[in-house]
Structure 1
Amino acid sequence: MISFKLERDYIPLIQLLKAVNLVETGGQAQLVVAEGLVKYNGHVDYRKRLKVKRGDTVEFDGNTIHIQ
């Protein structure tokens, strides 16, 4: 599990994937979201501009990110 400490109220999903080094570029992040490879709080979510907040979990490529 990866813990990510949020400095603001939220972080866009694509920026989160880049911040924890699960993707190399924003374009790659957009692609994995569009292909349905990312789960948000247990459900596949296709929203590229999704606002991830404290208490949320994001799953991708066998990794779980918990937002603190």
Structure 2
Amino acid sequence: MQQLKLDTPYITLGQLLKRLDLISSGGHAKFFLEDVAVKINGQIEHRRGKKIYPQDVVDIEGYEPLQVV
């Protein structure tokens, strides 16, 4: 499982997708989330503004799971 270190208390799902280079801009997050299943701690998530905190596990369809630290 990959780990991602945060320098802030949380990161939004849209920011995370940009940081992982899965999307080129925040506006693309909406379309990405419509096409690709993303789970946060086992729950499917469609909101690009969802806050992700340390210890959360993000599972993006087709990619290795990621733990935020």
Interval of TM-score (by shorter of Structure 1 and Structure 2): 0.7 to 0.9
2:36–2:61: 8 Å Cα contact kept in structure 1?
Answer: no
Runs of 4+ in 1 over 3 A off after TM superposition: none
Aligned to 2:68: 67
Answering whether residue 33 of structure 2 is matched by residue 2 of structure 1, we say: no
Any unmatched runs of 5+ in structure 2?
A: none
Structure 1: segments with no counterpart, 5+ residues: none
- Given the two structures, how large is their TM-score scaled by the length of structure 2? 0.80
Pairwise CA RMSD: 1.7
- In the TM superposition, 1:4-19 aligns within 5 A as 4-19=4-19
Q: Percent identity among equivalent residues?
A: 34
Amino acid at match of 2:59: E
Normalising to structure 1: TM-score of the pair? Answer: 0.81
